[in-house]
């Protein structure tokens, strides 16, 4: 098959057991609601697996061994949360030829299963935890597809050097989510597990001797499409992070061109919209979110954003320098090896000898680090065990030397409000206005940089009650306070209560003994008619007495 990887064929062994054993049940909680349905026999098997039953009684279903083996395979494919069940199955057959009981083999103890579920859910949350209802199905599927490719190492079971090291976990979501490696079956099951959590209809295309690979079919916008995450992970390598998209939302026509088995294209994926015209077809690495903006790296050496509403791409950066790679002619200039990530409010991207940043809106472009240690070039940028890092290599295929960004680039040390906003005193009920405020970031190299208001966030401002209000400004993991005041009309001295001292100030102003400032006049004008008169004095008196 053209560029498709084979999966090991699971061997089902039969051990004939003369007598049925009693059922031992260990409770096991539900993880996910699945979009596919099971037959009654399959549901019985699934419930037995979930309870880690010692024996599962199935004689009432009048199922032959072939019926049961098919049902078991369907359960493994459609309910990947039973990752702890081995594919070697013991069964007993009654005198009428039908299977009586199944005696599963469990790869984990009950305690280990619960621990594994916790680890799986942690990994899944990192993949899809930020995909919310504001996103379309296609946006969610695209981000999941790309994140899985970066997160999982593909196991090529055709490689004789690693054949003997392939384990049963490499076929399950445990392998994909916890061990972070797996064959195509692990990719397909892991994708299904996440897509079910996202509430998108989908199913796994099963493995067989004629269909020697596994992938997924998904339904979005009322139409079915094929998705093969494992095949798109074919060229991924470390922080080089090449992410292919040839097998993302492709039609049956495209599948046949790629060598997929026609008999397993069961959902009628006839729509060819995304076979060639989608923007992700031009991306050479993962599509990611920079705030609420979708970013991708174009194969022609450009960092671009994409607007799903308008269908328009915007180029933020166009590289003019290519990577020089030695060859028999003394040097060549191949395709671009630029990669990008989102970090600390900026898009970071690499050139052959430099790390650069730019904001998602196209501002703030700068070179923050130049690699001049030796002749090696920067061949990738990404997250290494959660740490933003880049890799240098002698050429595109040599060993990675991974360098954390924090070892070479300036580190954000603190942020501070260096100029207060024009408005720092608010009346009850007014909304926040940060106009005029300047927030400055300070870095480890002594440099300082004034942020723009889209860089940082400000905590919620509650002006429903009077008092001193301390808001929190956040940027790049650093915070600083913003101190404001909320007062009420009549509180001329701004001590957050109306007292006789306020009344005295108003009376002295009224009789021209002393004059209030403009801000004090605003506070003293209780009836808000622009004039300080006896009505304001009377109103303040009654307010102090608690009548008003």
Q: Which two tokens stand for residue 223?
A: 């139409």
CATH of 412-487, one of 3.40.50.12780, 1.10.3720.10, 2.60.40.3630, 3.30.1240.10: 2.60.40.3630
The reported pLDDT for the residue numbered 107 is 95
How are beta strands 56-57 and 401-404 bridged, if at all? unpaired
Q: Which two tokens stand for residue 152?
A: 């999982």
Domain 278-409 class? mainly beta
Buried b or exposed e, range 405-434, using 16+ CB within 10 angstroms: beeebbebeebebeeeeeeeebeeeeebeb
More confident residue, 225 or 423: 225
* Inter-residue contact 136 to 308 (CB < 8 Å): yes
Residues of the chain within CATH 2.60.40.3630 domain(s) are 412-487
| Range with the poorest average pLDDT among 228-232, 312-316, 416-420, 532-536 | 532-536
**488 φ/ψ angles, rounded to the nearest 5 degrees:** -120, 160
The reported pLDDT for the residue numbered 14 is 33
Position 294 confidence tier, pLDDT thresholds 50, 70, 90: very high
How many angstroms separate the CA atoms of 491 and 498, rounded? 5
How are beta strands 202-205 and 215-220 bridged, if at all? antiparallel
The reported pLDDT for the residue numbered 164 is 57
| Range with the poorest average pLDDT among 47-56, 73-82, 197-206, 259-268 | 259-268
The 10s digit of each residue's pLDDT in 257-268 is 999 988 889 999
Q: Which two tokens stand for residue 392?
A: 């240098």
* Inter-residue contact 93 to 15 (CB < 8 Å): no
CA nearest to 206, candidates 399, 17, 56, 69: 69
Buried b or exposed e, range 269-281, using 16+ CB within 10 angstroms: bebeebbeebbbe
Decide if pLDDT at 9 tops 70: no
As a whole number, mean pLDDT of residues 16-30 equals 32
Q: Is the dihedral of CA 249, 251, 256, 258 positive or negative?
A: negative
The 10s digit of each residue's pLDDT in 207-222 is 766 667 899 999 999 9
Residues of the chain within CATH 2.40.128 domain(s) are 278-409
> DSSP label at 325?
B
The reported pLDDT for the residue numbered 235 is 62
The reported pLDDT for the residue numbered 514 is 82
More confident residue, 499 or 46: 46
Which residues contact residue 80 at a Cβ distance below 8 angstroms, ignoring those fewer than 6 apart?
Answer: 172, 173, 189, 190, 192, 193
Which residues contact residue 530 at a Cβ distance below 8 angstroms, ignoring those fewer than 6 apart?
Answer: none
Burial of 480 (0-12, 13-18, 19+ CB in 10 A): middle
How many angstroms separate the CA atoms of 42 and 69, rounded? 10
The reported pLDDT for the residue numbered 442 is 86
CB atoms within 10 A of CB 334: 12
More confident residue, 532 or 147: 147
The reported pLDDT for the residue numbered 254 is 96
> DSSP label at 170?
G
Residue-averaged pLDDT of the chain: 85
Position 2 confidence tier, pLDDT thresholds 50, 70, 90: very low
| Range with the poorest average pLDDT among 26-30, 118-122, 466-470 | 26-30
Decide if pLDDT at 528 tops 90: no
The 10s digit of each residue's pLDDT in 149-181 is 999 988 876 554 544 578 899 999 999 999 999
Q: To the nearest whole percent, how much of the chain has pLDDT over 70?
A: 88
Which residues contact residue 328 at a Cβ distance below 8 angstroms, ignoring those fewer than 6 apart?
Answer: none
The reported pLDDT for the residue numbered 171 is 94
Q: Dihedral, CA atoms, 114, 119, 121, 127, nearest 10 degrees?
A: -170
> DSSP label at 27?
-
């Amino acid at each position: 098959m053209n560029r498709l990887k084979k999966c090991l064929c699971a061997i089902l062994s039969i051990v004939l057991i003369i007598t049925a054993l009693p059922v031992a049940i260990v409770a096991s909680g539900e993880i996910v609601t699945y979009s596919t349905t099971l037959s009654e026999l399959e549901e019985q098997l699934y419930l037995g697996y979930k309870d880690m039953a010692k024996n599962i009684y199935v004689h009432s279903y009048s199922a032959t061994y072939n019926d049961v083996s098919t049902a078991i395979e369907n359960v493994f494919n459609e309910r990947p949360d039973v990752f702890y069940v081995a594919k070697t199955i013991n069964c007993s057959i009654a005198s009428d030829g039908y299977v009586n009981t199944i005696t599963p083999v469990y790869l984990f103890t009950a305690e280990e299963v619960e621990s594994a579920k916790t680890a799986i859910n942690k990994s899944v949350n990192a993949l899809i935890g930020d995909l919310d209802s504001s996103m379309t199905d296609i946006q969610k599927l695209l981000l999941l597809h790309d994140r899985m490719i970066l997160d999982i190492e593909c196991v090529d079971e055709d490689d004789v050097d690693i054949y003997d090291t392939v384990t049963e976990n490499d076929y399950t979501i445990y392998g994909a989510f916890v061990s972070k490696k797996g064959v195509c079956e692990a990719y397909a099951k892991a994708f299904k597990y996440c897509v079910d959590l996202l509430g998108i209809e989908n199913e796994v295309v099963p493995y067989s001797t004629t269909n020697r690979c596994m992938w997924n079919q998904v339904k979005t916008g009322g139409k079915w499409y094929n998705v093969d995450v494992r095949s798109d992970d074919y060229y991924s390598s470390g922080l080089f992070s090449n992410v292919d998209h040839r097998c993302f939302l492709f039609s049956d026509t495209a599948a046949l061109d790629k060598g997929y088995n026609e008999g397993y294209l069961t959902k009628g994926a006839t729509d060819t919209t995304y076979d060639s015209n989608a923007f992700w077809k031009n991306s050479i690495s993962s599509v990611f979110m920079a705030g609420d903006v979708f970013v991708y790296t174009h194969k022609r050496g450009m960092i671009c954003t994409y607007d799903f509403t308008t269908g328009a791409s915007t180029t933020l950066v166009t590289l003019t320098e290519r990577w020089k790679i030695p060859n028999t002619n003394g040097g060549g200039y191949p395709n671009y090896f630029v990669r990008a990530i989102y970090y600390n409010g900026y898009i970071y991207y690499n050139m052959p000898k430099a790390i650069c940043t730019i904001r998602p809106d196209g501002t703030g472009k700068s070179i923050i680090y130049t690699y001049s240690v030796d002749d090696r070039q920067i061949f990738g940028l990404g997250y290494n065990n959660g740490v933003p890092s880049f890799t240098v290599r002698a050429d595109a295929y040599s060993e990675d030397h991974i360098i954390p960004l924090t070892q070479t680039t300036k580190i954000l040390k603190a942020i501070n409000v260096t100029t207060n906003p024009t408005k720092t005193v608010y009346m009850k009920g007014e909304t926040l206005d940060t106009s005029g405020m300047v927030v400055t970031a300070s870095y480890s190299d002594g440099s300082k940089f004034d942020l723009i208001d889209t860089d940082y966030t400000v905590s919620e401002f509650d002006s429903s009650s009077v008092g001193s209000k301390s808001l929190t400004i956040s940027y790049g993991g650093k915070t600083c306070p913003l101190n404001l005041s909320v007062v009420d009309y009549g509180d001329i001295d701004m001590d957050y209560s109306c007292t006789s001292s306020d009344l005295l100030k108003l009376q002295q102003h009224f009789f021209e003994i002393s004059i209030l400032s403009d801000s004090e006049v605003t506070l003293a004008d209780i009836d808000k008619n622009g004039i300080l008169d006896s009505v304001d004095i009377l109103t303040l008196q009654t307010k102090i007495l608690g009548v008003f």
